[in-house]
Amino acid sequence: MAEENGQNAAPQGEAPVFRLQKLYVKDLSFESPNAPDVFLAQQAEPKVDVNLGLKNNKMENDHWEVVLTVTATVTNAKDEKTLFIIEIEHAGVFVLKNIPEKHLPMVLAVDCPTLMFPFTRQIMSQVSVDGGFVPFLMEPVNFMALFQNAAKRKQEEQQTQ
């Protein structure tokens, strides 16, 4: 139900629009700094370190660019040698129209990357195979939990000031 003041409601008769217009790779890097030695060494269970970033910017005519940045460093747990590093900036252009202002941060931080992530994951998997390794399959990411944790931290910071 829309709030009485109408501030958070979509304009009368206009339904909200959420549409992915385009996905593209802005930047992609693959490194295997210890090749070919890593292919000859006895492999232990790999150790994986993944860093995730997200940013967005408003374009024109209800278009938003959302950029998912992932850096994955995979090392041999036995000797700590780096097997490979994948860095990707995977972006999408979304049409977001008639979405209430209070819901926009969640749409940009949860819905957009949730839609993009399977494609990002596939690109990273294929790059690791092309680099001579087994497919690198990232675990699913709960973007809602990340959003809620960030909001909670922000609220706690504001209360301590």
Q: Which residue has the higher pLDDT, 81 or 13?
A: 81
Q: Which two tokens stand for residue 161?
A: 């000031």
The fold of 20-136 is Bacterial Protein-export protein SecB (3.10.420)
The neighbour count for residue 145, using CB atoms within 10 Å, is 10
pTM for the full predicted model: 0.85
At 19-35, the pLDDT tens digits run 999 999 999 999 999 99
Q: Are 90 and 71 in contact (CB under 8 A)?
A: no
At 98-131, the pLDDT tens digits run 999 999 999 999 999 999 999 999 999 999 999 9
Sorted by sequence, the CB contacts under 8 Å of residue 8 that are 6+ apart come out as 2, 100, 101, 102, 103
Q: Which residue has the higher pLDDT, 3 or 15?
A: 15
Q: Are 149 and 143 in contact (CB under 8 A)?
A: no
Confidence at residue 44, expressed as pLDDT on a 0 to 100 scale? 74
Confidence at residue 96, expressed as pLDDT on a 0 to 100 scale? 97
From the list 157, 131, 148, 141, the residue with the least C-alpha distance to 39 is 131
Confidence at residue 4, expressed as pLDDT on a 0 to 100 scale? 45
The span from the CA of 6 to the CA of 158, in Å, is 28
Domain ranges in the chain? 20-136
Confidence band of 8 (pLDDT split at 50, 70, 90): low
Q: Are 57 and 135 in contact (CB under 8 A)?
A: no
Percentage with pLDDT > 70 across the chain: 92
The strand pair at 17-31 and 82-97 is best described as antiparallel
